[in-house]
Structure formats: structure tokens, C-alpha cells
Structure 1
Amino acid sequence: MPGWDTTLIMSHSALRVKAYRINALPDSVLCHILSYLPTKNVVATSILARRWKLVWTSLQKLYFDDRQSRRLPGMMGDPMPGFEDFIERVLTGTQPMNITIFFMHCSKLVDLSSFHLWVCSAVRRNAREIELYLDQNHRLMSDFLLKVPAGGTCFPNVKILTMQLESPDNILTEKLFCSCPSLEELSIQAYLNDEGPTTKFVISSSTLKQCTLWVETEGEMFTQAEYKVRITAPSLERLHIMSDIFGKFVVHDLNSLTDVILDIVYGEWSRVDPNRSIQLLQQLNNTTSLTVSYGVLCQSRFEVTEEQFGWIEGDIVPNCLLEHVKKIEIKGVEGDEDELILVEYLLKYSSVLEVMVICFKGSVSKPERRDIGRSILQVQRDSNSCKLELV
């Protein structure tokens, strides 16, 4: 028609066709597309058209993040107006009984009882993954309790569980980590004080593959805190323990364990039994990668003089050397005779060793390092594929 822009008319027509095609998609497809957007934006699609009014109610991935909302200057530390009401509206309006993801980041909560109800709602809907982030300066008060059901199952579908605990009650630490039948990754960060009974961590799972335990104490140097750990996990592959003090460990059925890191502090003031270190290491005989801190080695010390200290070869070669150990890293090497004897022993009996890393102490000069390196290179190796790295 005269005076009309035909290009514009065709563009509008094309847009209507595309909009029709999108509207014709089933709710399941639309929900999958919307799952890549923040929940706030997904709910906003309800005003697009009558077709979209209830699509958001079928969401299975729920993301609540108050950082995505604008705040007035000077209100960054204040609760986000309407944020809690928005969460209530979404949880009330959504229909699925099974949620795949429940994510919430809240800078500051007004009502902790609401937080409790939200988490319970996610648990009742069999959430597979729950991520909760609260401002670290506003911890949950002591009236927030997580009770393990009498039936023994707490989170039936959770595969990844990360928790920060402050002076935890043994009722929780003895039951919770045995009540997640689908758990694959567990991370615990616990803060212990000097008062109260010994904290007991009981971890029992047939599905657990990775476990990280980080224990911190208030007193640090002269702490009176104490803890015990019992782990039964036949599928566990990786174990990482970091601690200010050396707890008592009992492990069972760690047949799949291949990677272990023990980063434990042990000071001269410590009153714990030094045999704990030896007992723990004896229970980790199937691992192929073992990293231990100076504290672990120090705790296994015996009362000997410097002249008596040295390497004594045992009558039986450890099975881990013959069949499992693939990498050995020795730090702080100075080139002492006992050190070279130990290196020779390890190279002689490590049948499947792939690499040995020798890290020299900073005080060792370059000429001394070359001489030590030549001596080590002449040592016979049981593993033909073993590589030697000198750093």
C-alpha cells in the first residue's frame, strides 16, 4: 500500500509466526528453556500472554538470589524489600513434587523461621541439590535445628552436601552423615570450642566418593577441644582431612580409596596420643596417592636423640609399595645418608611407581643438588617407567 513500509509489515508478520511457534511448544519444553534464567525473570514471563500465565509454576529448578535485585545506596547490608515474599509466592505457586535444584543466596534474613520452612519445603519435594548461602556475618541463631528423622533417611536424593557447623551437637554429627542414601560428595567445616563433650563424626555411606573434613578450634595452640571420626565408605575414592588438632580416626571398608591428603597440625604442646598418627596411616594401606603434612609425621615420633634418629629398613616390604604407589614426593631433602638410603629403598621396591619428585631444602646449594642428583640417578629402579624429578 502507498506510504506503508512493506519491510516493517513483513518483520511484524515474521515475529508473530515465531511467537506462535514458541507458544505452541509443550510446557515441559518451555520449562526447560526457562530453567536457564533466574527464577525472578521466569516468573515475570507470566505477563507476556495468557499462554505464559502458569508456565512458571512447573519449574523444577528454583534460584533465589537477592544480589540480582537493585538496592538503594547505603542499603547493601539491609534485607531486600519483598525478597522473602517473593520466595513464599514461588514456593506456594509451583506445582512439582520433585525439585532438581534449590538455590538461595540471601544477604540478610528477617525471619529465620521462614528460612526453616523454605528448606523443609525443598526437602519435602525431594530436592536433588540444595545450595544455601547466607551472609557470613549473620550466622543462624541457636534456635535453628536440623533434626534427623527417626526413620534414618534425611535427604534421600542429595548427592552433594556441604555444611559449616559451629560447636555441633553429637546428635547431628552422629546421624546426619549416615542418613543420605544417595550422597556422593561430602564437605564438612566444623568449628569446635574448648567446652563440652568430645565431638563425634560418624560418616557411613555406600555411595560416598569424596569426603573433605576441616576442623578448626578456638584455642588453637592450647586448645582442650577433642573429636573422633568413624568412616565406613566402601566407594570412597578421595579423602581430605584438614585440622588444627589430631583427632582419633577409625575407618572401615575403604577398599576404593586411592587419594588421601592429611593436613593436620601437631604442636609440641599437644597432649594427644602420638600413636594416633601411626594407627591412621596403617588403615590407609590401599591408597595410591598419600600426602601427609609435617604435623602427621611429627606426631608419629618416638623419644630418641638426634644421633639415634635414622632410617631402619623393615623385614617386610609394604604391599602399597609393591602394587599401588604411583607417585612419591619427598620435600626438604638435604642429602643426608639416611635420606639417600630411604630414596634407594623406595625406588627398589616401588614396582608400579611412575614418578618420584625430590624437593631440596632451600639451604642446599646448586653444586650439592647436582651431586645428590647424580647419586640418585645411579640407583636401581624396580619400575622401568619411573621418572625422576629434582626441584
Structure 2
Amino acid sequence: MDFVERVLLLREPSTITNFSLTCNVLSDSSRVTTWISAAVKHKVQVLNIRLYKIGEPFMLPSFLFNCESLQELHLNMFNLLELPSFVSFSNLKILTLIRIVFPDDHSAQKLFKVCSILEELYLIFCSWENVKAVCISSPKIQKLYIQEKDPSYCTDTEDEDGENNSVDQNNDSDNESDNIDHQNSPVYLNDDIDDVYSSDEQSDDADDQCDSDGCQFAVFGTSLKYFSYMGDFVHGCHIQDSSSIVEAHLQAYNGDRKIGYRTLKLLWGLSNAKSLELDDNAVESLADADELLDHLPMFYSLTHIHIDWVVLIYKEQREALLTILRKSPCLSSLKFEGLSCMLCYSGTYDWTLDPVPGCFLTHLKTIEISMFNGSEIELLAVKILLKSATILEKMVISFNPWEFEDADGLKKQQEVQEQILSFPRGSSSCLIAISCPPKKKKIIEFC
């Protein structure tokens, strides 16, 4: 530690372009603040701070929050973020906050309001328990990533070396937010969504969905191009002025009716996106609250949809997926990251695309299916897709490498491949590309 301190303090007054600090704080908080202060005094541009085992009251040096040279700040520490009376980030473009605990609304407002030229914002595993409302309104923000804590495991425990393996610090991230007073915070509800709550039968769900336990995020994204939200949707997120959004990702840790209402609100804010990725839980949450499907927005700008697993044997999930497809009239590319996790099923496969989504007849040109297991339900899905997409140009199928490793697997793969190539195609010009598992020599067949 003495060596590090001498290097920093005796360094010539030249600029430090990039400074990274990863350590256990324990009882050496004064040393840690000295190192950070030295980096700031040398006009650091990129600062990456990763602190563990903070064993005493700890505050970052006050002039860190007034560093005019700082362009990127990545801060990872499970600790209260105590701010000085004056905060100014005049050149900060990227802000990452990981495991940060905000003490109150005022602190959140003070930090995020000054990030006027922020372009990228990542909030990962932060604690918002003391914050009721946050407004993210930087006019230049282009990328917003929010990830909640996964309740299935603890993200705040460190191993013996002080490492927290649940967070990838190499993930670029940044965060900007502006706090608004809870009593005066606006509620962004589309009239079509409000109609869902009109009946007494659904009032309890509406009350649960609109509870105030979580923080309410209001996002004004006039320049926002990328949005990602991962978690249990404990916090409400309302996106306004989002016509610039190109790519959106929604991933839910669980699927239930309450999450379905929150997912619907987010989809309204993302209705101008050109690319949308949903995981199986997000689709399931809409399926569990099937009364919401009629209230999904139209996605007139959407050209690509990526579905991360969907269990096709469940009618509700199929209907939720088909509703999204029918609401996407200009869709040209469709990707499935796994069609079904059910390899064995004793039921009947008597479902069809009825009615066929309009995009299948006018715009859909590419379908990609990965992690393909060759089960009966998956084969039926491929058969239906090939028959229904009348202007399809290409279907790409990649087998699941974990299912076709031995000789029996390779034999099954060949049988499945021949079966797929025999399916009738609604488009006479459609090519089918089938790839073997990556652990084997790749064979691509176009027919």
C-alpha cells in the first residue's frame, strides 16, 4: 500500500487518462480516499472504482464529484453514497453505478441532475429502497441499462478475497437520474391501459400493480437509442418521448400477472423500437394476465423480434407471442433462442396460426431458430412457420450442441434435418440453412 501511495503522490503533474482501483477497504478508508484524490488531482478522464469489505463509515472524496476532466465514472461498492453539498459533472458521458445505496430522494436528484451531457447510463443492483421517484432526462442520453437484484441469490456478499462474482465490472455502464418529489410525480398511464382496470374484478390486481413499494422511474429519452431492463419489475418505469429508440430488451426473473401489467406499460413506451428482445418470463407475464393482450400497442416501426425461449405447449404463451406478432405489421426478421424447453410431451399438438400475422404475408423474410432440440413440438412449429410465411427468404436453424454430441444424437440430427427439408414451404424461394452443433465440424446445407 505504501508503494501505491508513493507512486501516486510523487507522480509528475501529468494527466492520468485511466485509473482503476479494486481493493478491500477494511480499516484503510483514508488510504483509499487518498488514492482516489490523487487520480482526480491528475485530471483523470476514466475512473473505475471497485471497493469491497468497507468496514467503517466511508465517504468518497468530495472533489471527485466536481471533477471537470472526468468523462467516465464506474463505481462499484455496496455502501451509502454520501454526496457533498455541491456536485458538478460537466464532461461526464458514461456513468456506471453498481450496488450503490442511495440514502434518500435528495441525493439521487443531486447526483443525476448535473449529468447534463450523459450519453450512457447503467444502473446495476443498486438499492432504491430510500428513493421514491427518479427522473432520467438527459437530452443526450443514448443508452440506458437497468438491472435489479435477482432475489434467487444474494448479490451483496463477497468471497474471502473480497470479490463479488455476481457483478461483471467489465460491463460498461452508466446511470443518470433526476429525482422528483413523490407527491408531485406524474403518473404516466395510457388510456388503453387504464381500461384494463375498469372492472371490480381486476381492481385488486391494479392496486397491487400500482403499489408504491418500488422506485418510480420516469425516462424522457428524446435521444435514447438503446434500453434494457432486467429484473422482477419491482420498480415502475415509464418511458416518454421515445421515438428515437432502436433497440429494446426486457427480461423478467419471474412471470406473473403483476409483472404483466408493468411489462405492458414498458411496451407502450417502447412501441417505436425497431428491435425488441423479450425473454420467456416477460412473455409468460403477459400470458398470465391475458386480458392485457388486447391492450398491447401497435409496433409500426418494429422490424426485428428476438424471443429468448418460449414454451409452445402452453396455449397462453402461444397466444401472447402471436398477439405481439400480429401487432408488428412491418416485422421482417424473427429469432427464437430456443422454441421449447419441453423435450417430452404427452399431449396433442393441434394448434395452428389462425389468423396468420399480417407480417408473415407481407414483410417477414428471415426466421432464425437456435438451441433447436428436434422435439415434436419444435418440428410442428417449424412446419407451421414455413407454411405460413409466404415471402420468407431464409430460415436458419442451429441445433442445441448439448443434445447431439454422441452417435445417437448425430443420427437423430440427420433424421430431423431430413424431416425439416421435406416440409412444404409457403414461399417457393425460401432457403433452409441447418447447422450442426459447434463442437462438431459445421455442416451448412442450403436447399
TM > 0.5:
yes
Query: What does the per-residue CA deviation read over 1:333-363, in whole Å, with 9 as the maximum and x for residues that have no partner?
Result: 58955563476544225x3x45222468757
Say if 2:230 and 2:252, in contact at 8 Å, map to a contact too. Answer: yes
Question: 1:278/1:339 Cα in 2 relative to 1: closer, same or farther (>3 Å)?
Answer: farther
1:378 to 2:387 alignment: yes
The equivalent residue for 1:332 is 339
Within 2, Cα distance between the matches of 1:247 and 1:377?
A: 40
Alignment of 1:179-328 (within 5 A): 179-192=114-127, 196-197=129-130, 200-216=133-149, 226-267=214-255, 272=258, 274-300=260-286, 301-302=288-289, 311=319, 318=327, 321-322=329-330, 326-328=333-335
Q: Report if aligned partners of 2:24, 2:54 keep a CA contact under 8 Å in 1.
A: no
Q: Is the 8 A contact 2:361 2:389 kept in 1?
A: yes
Is 1:388 the counterpart of 2:395? The answer is yes
Structure 2 alignment gaps of length 5 or more: 60-80, 155-211, 292-313, 343-347, 399-447
Secondary structure at the aligned position of 2:135 is classed as: strand
CA positional deviation for 1:281 = 0.8
Q: 1:126 to 1:338 in 2, by over 3 A?
A: farther
Q: Contact conserved, 1:288 with 1:326, CA < 8 A, in 2?
A: no
RMSD over equivalenced CA pairs, Å: 4.1
Question: Structure 1 residues 160, 212: closer, same or farther in 2, change over 3 A?
Answer: same
Q: Which residue of 1 aligns with 2:433?
A: none
Cα distance change, pair 161–198 in 1 and its aligned pair in 2 (3 A): closer
| 1:147 counterpart = 2:79 | no
**Alpha-carbon distance between aligned partners in 1 of 2:352 and 2:360, rounded to the nearest angstrom:** 12
Partner of 1:357: 368
Q: Which residue of 2 aligns with 1:111?
A: 28
Distance 1:214 1:180 in 2: 20
Seen in structure 2, the aligned counterparts of structure 1 residues 308 and 286 have a Cα distance that, compared at 3 Å, is closer
**Residue 246 of structure 1 contacts residue 266 of structure 1 at CA under 8 Å; is this kept in 2?**
no
Distance 2:365 2:92 in 1: 37
Distance in 1, matches of 2:289 and 2:236, equals 19
| Alpha-carbon shift at residue 279 of structure 1 (Å) | 1.0
CA distance in 2, matches of 1:339, 1:198: 47
Number of the residue aligned with 2:439: none
Shift of 1:260: 1.5
| Residue aligned with 2:282, SS | helix
SS of the aligned residue for 1:290 comes to: strand
Q: What is the rounded CA distance, in whole Å, between the counterparts of 2:112 and 2:36 in structure 1?
A: 18
- Contact residue 166 and residue 192 of structure 1 kept, 8 A: yes
Q: Secondary structure at the match of 1:282?
A: helix
1:131 equivalent to 2:36? Answer no
Query: Compared with structure 1, are the counterparts of its residues 295 and 171 closer, same or farther at alpha carbon in structure 2 (3 Å cutoff)?
Result: farther
Q: Check conservation: 1:230, 1:251, Cα contact below 8 A.
A: yes
Residue identity in the other structure for 2:28: D
Deviation at 1:282, TM superposition (A): 1.4
Q: CA deviation at 1:243?
A: 1.4
| Aligned twin of 2:102 | 168
Offset of residue 250 of structure 1: 0.7
Give yes or no for contact 1:258–1:289 (8 Å, CA) kept in 2. yes
| Alignment-derived partner of residue 95 in structure 1 | 13
Comparing 163-172 with 112-121, greater Cα deviation is found at: 112-121
Q: For residue 302 of structure 1, what is the amino acid of its counterpart? A: A
Give the Cα–Cα distance (whole angstroms) in 2 for the partners of residues 332 and 122 of structure 1.
Answer: 50
How far has the Cα of 1:284 moved from its partner? Answer: 0.6
SS for the counterpart of 2:277 is: strand
CA distance 1:105–1:346, shift in 2 (3 Å): same
1:163 deviation in Å? Answer: 1.8
Give secondary structure in 2 for the equivalent of 1:378: helix
- Kindly indicate whether structure 1 or structure 2 has the higher relative contact order, using CA contacts under 8 Å at least 6 residues apart: 2
Aligned AA (2:135): V
CA distance in 2, matches of 1:83, 1:291: 45
TM superposition shift of 1:249 = 0.7
Provide the rounded CA distance (Å) in 2 between the counterparts of 1:331 and 1:380. Answer: 19
Residue 218 of structure 1, CA deviation: 5.7
Whichever of the two has the greater Rg, that structure is: 1
TM-score with structure 1 setting the length: 0.59
Q: TM-score, normalised by structure 2?
A: 0.52
Answer yes or no: is the 8 Å Cα contact 1:185–1:208 preserved in 2.
yes
